[in-house]
Chain A
């Protein structure tokens, strides 16, 4: 009966209900667009940001790292010259920080100077390729990337190295690593390691990286007997209310033995613009939702006033408050569901438009947004129906039925 009653009453008052639905649609469309964009923002901006490479570099606190000194023995090789590999995990925890919107990549590097094919000294870098790929998106690798962090044979060599040593994809080459290792008794012992790698990829980076050889972090740590040690960590973090410096400070606070340097400030400006766009959209959404609420409230109030006699009669013949309220609540529910669905569809288009004009790329709707906005739609509509419904419940049947 309730459904029948609702259907008839909604059809009868099409235009009023239509206005309420339209006001819900407008608000929900804005909110949908905002949510769709925010959910994709990390990715979109991350992509933009990656064009600039890492924005943070984490170094051990001491100045001298092996890279800059070559294979010259250092008098006192202190542990502090390296960062512990487990610090990567600590840095990853930053993603829960309120200053950080998201982390695109964290790539640890261990550098060592090796002699290749007994002729040339080259800097060899051990790293995680899956992370490097996220950070140095412009790297162009001919051949194949190294997908498995545990691979011990593959290497990607910089184009300059390839040319100088006349190495091609598929070639094997020997490296020799020599160093002093500090023994437990305090003395240092000289040791040498020979190893063979295969060229699986040739890198063109347009930077110093072209002069390097890249292998998995693990194998280089083993070769150099520097288990769990890294020389440097590159981080691409998206900041919130941006200043990357804040994140740098946070890293230093977390890890006392490191120095975090901000590299690129370009991205900060980008993120700031994004923050502004987002807060503007949030504001617009709130205003749009308020307008929706007002629209629904007005429609519902008009509906109650118009149907005063009807409500009075219902109460006179014994309708409980619960049943009278459910009549209007169901009406609100229907309005909110229709408005929510249509609003979401329109929101997808708005998001698309904004995506194209702001990011110059299309935005694919994230369907998680749908249940979210439907919830918002139902919540706002029901909430704004409460006052009109209370008004309906206050109607005195004797009074309204008396007046002709």
Chain B
């Protein structure tokens, strides 16, 4: 059993308008895990991710990251927590439109400590954008933009990557490129929590947590099938029979 990175207990979020977005979430994520959160629209996925990432505070419950309760942090320390522990990847990319690829990555370095152009270029190389260093976001495809965003997220070597529908704005080909990238980051040992609506995308992660109405409906490992070959065979047989 590897080290626990995130542990939430009885996480509840009630918004001002009395919407109960999260309702008692107990969740443990280990170091290096790649977790997908799924669930219908409005089930609380983004709310959960925001709280884990220190962008929002729960109404109740605790979130321990590396053993520290982040729900107790003031906003300055929470900002520090985000800066040092989290890499965010957004569905909308949220690149700064007037900065080129390198500068967008340098921005994250600048907010973290100091911006080093060479390091930023290396990170972009890692995400396969060696040829796009000085391109502005408008001069790049959606996939390329999202890869810049991934580069920005990993520029400061955060422990945890949080991605809210990272492929939501991408076509299949571009989505695959970004997923391959996440997979390699996972293999490098990053802890990744990702939201998606697409089961095929979710299957590439290790574990799928399904939320419904702010509660965990299911929490399954995607490798379960290989452990239980009988079911798979059964399925195939039933297909052949046409039943």
Assembled-state Cα–Cα distance A318/B115 (Å): 14
> Given A315-B79, A318-B84, A1 and B55 touching (CB < 8 A)?
no
Assembled-state Cα–Cα distance A319/B55 (Å): 12
> Given A1-B115, A320-B79, A314 and B107 touching (CB < 8 A)?
yes
**Could you list which residues of chain A lie within 8 angstroms of chain B, going by C-beta atoms?**
1-2, 4-5, 8-9, 11-12, 309-310, 312-321, 323, 397-398, 401-402, 404
Beyond A312-B94, A317-B108, 20 additional pairs, beta carbon < 8 A: A1-B106, A1-B109, A5-B99, A12-B98, A310-B96, A313-B94, A314-B111, A315-B79, A316-B53, A316-B94, A317-B82, A317-B83, A318-B82, A318-B83, A318-B84, A319-B83, A320-B76, A321-B76, A321-B79, A323-B110
Main secondary structure of the interface of A (DSSP, over half): helix
| In the complex, chain A residues whose CB is within 8 Å of the CB of B83 | 317-320
Q: Is B92 close to A, CB under 8 A?
A: yes
**What residue of chain A has the Cβ atom nearest to residue B156's Cβ?**
A318
Q: Is B231 close to A, CB under 8 A?
A: no
Q: Could you tell me the distance in whole angstroms from the C-beta of A24 to the nearest C-beta in chain B?
A: 23
Assembled-state Cα–Cα distance A397/B98 (Å): 20
Q: Is B50 close to A, CB under 8 A?
A: yes
Q: Could you tell me the distance in whole angstroms from the C-beta of A404 to the nearest C-beta in chain B?
A: 6
| In the complex, chain A residues whose CB is within 8 Å of the CB of B92 | 309, 401, 404
> Given A8-B103, A398-B50, A402-B46, A309 and B111 touching (CB < 8 A)?
no
Residues 11-58 of B at the A interface (beta carbon under 8 Å)? 46, 50, 53, 55-56
**What residue of chain B has the Cβ atom nearest to residue A2's Cβ?**
B110
Q: Could you tell me the distance in whole angstroms from the C-beta of B145 to the nearest C-beta in chain A?
A: 13
**What residue of chain B has the Cβ atom nearest to residue A4's Cβ?**
B103
| In the complex, chain A residues whose CB is within 8 Å of the CB of B99 | 5, 8
Contact call A397/B103, Cβ cutoff below 8 A: no
> Residues of B within 8 Å of A, CB-based: how many?
33
> Given A5-B99, A318-B80, A401 and B110 touching (CB < 8 A)?
no
Assembled-state Cα–Cα distance A316/B87 (Å): 9
| In the complex, chain A residues whose CB is within 8 Å of the CB of B86 | 318
Out of B90, B103, B114, name the residue touching A401 (CB < 8 Å).
B90
| In the complex, chain B residues whose CB is within 8 Å of the CB of A5 | 99, 103, 107, 110
| In the complex, chain B residues whose CB is within 8 Å of the CB of A314 | 107, 111
A to B contact number (C-beta, < 8 Å): 76
Contact call B88/A317, Cβ cutoff below 8 A: yes
Contact call B111/A319, Cβ cutoff below 8 A: yes
| In the complex, chain B residues whose CB is within 8 Å of the CB of A310 | 94, 96
| In the complex, chain B residues whose CB is within 8 Å of the CB of A313 | 90, 94, 96
Q: Is B112 close to A, CB under 8 A?
A: yes
Nearest first, the 3 closest Cβ-Cβ pairs linking A and B are A318-B83, A1-B115, A12-B98
Q: Is B190 close to A, CB under 8 A?
A: no
Contact call A320/B46, Cβ cutoff below 8 A: no
Q: Could you tell me the distance in whole angstroms from the C-beta of A38 to the nearest C-beta in chain B?
A: 43
Out of B56, B98, B112, name the residue touching A318 (CB < 8 Å).
B112
Q: Could you tell me the distance in whole angstroms from the C-beta of B45 to the nearest C-beta in chain A?
A: 12
Assembled-state Cα–Cα distance A1/B116 (Å): 9
| In the complex, chain B residues whose CB is within 8 Å of the CB of A2 | 110
| In the complex, chain A residues whose CB is within 8 Å of the CB of B76 | 320-321
Assembled-state Cα–Cα distance A12/B97 (Å): 9
Q: Is B152 close to A, CB under 8 A?
A: yes
Assembled-state Cα–Cα distance A158/B147 (Å): 96
| In the complex, chain A residues whose CB is within 8 Å of the CB of B115 | 1
| In the complex, chain B residues whose CB is within 8 Å of the CB of A315 | 79
Q: Offer 9 A-B interface pairs, CB within 8 angstroms, sorted by A.
A: A1-B114, A1-B115, A12-B98, A310-B94, A312-B94, A317-B82, A319-B111, A321-B76, A401-B92
| In the complex, chain A residues whose CB is within 8 Å of the CB of B109 | 1
Out of B53, B79, B97, B152, name the residue touching A319 (CB < 8 Å).
B79
| In the complex, chain A residues whose CB is within 8 Å of the CB of B107 | 1, 5, 314, 317
Assembled-state Cα–Cα distance A321/B111 (Å): 10
Assembled-state Cα–Cα distance A401/B89 (Å): 11
Q: Could you tell me the distance in whole angstroms from the C-beta of A402 to the nearest C-beta in chain B?
A: 7
| In the complex, chain A residues whose CB is within 8 Å of the CB of B56 | 398
Assembled-state Cα–Cα distance A194/B107 (Å): 93
Contact call B111/A317, Cβ cutoff below 8 A: yes
Assembled-state Cα–Cα distance A62/B189 (Å): 105
Contact call A318/B79, Cβ cutoff below 8 A: yes
Out of A9, A11, A316, name the residue touching B55 (CB < 8 Å).
A316
Assembled-state Cα–Cα distance A5/B90 (Å): 21
> Given A9-B98, A398-B50, A323 and B111 touching (CB < 8 A)?
yes
Assembled-state Cα–Cα distance A402/B92 (Å): 9
Interface string of B63-95 (1 = CB under 8 A from A): 000000000000010011011101110101010
Contact call B111/A397, Cβ cutoff below 8 A: no
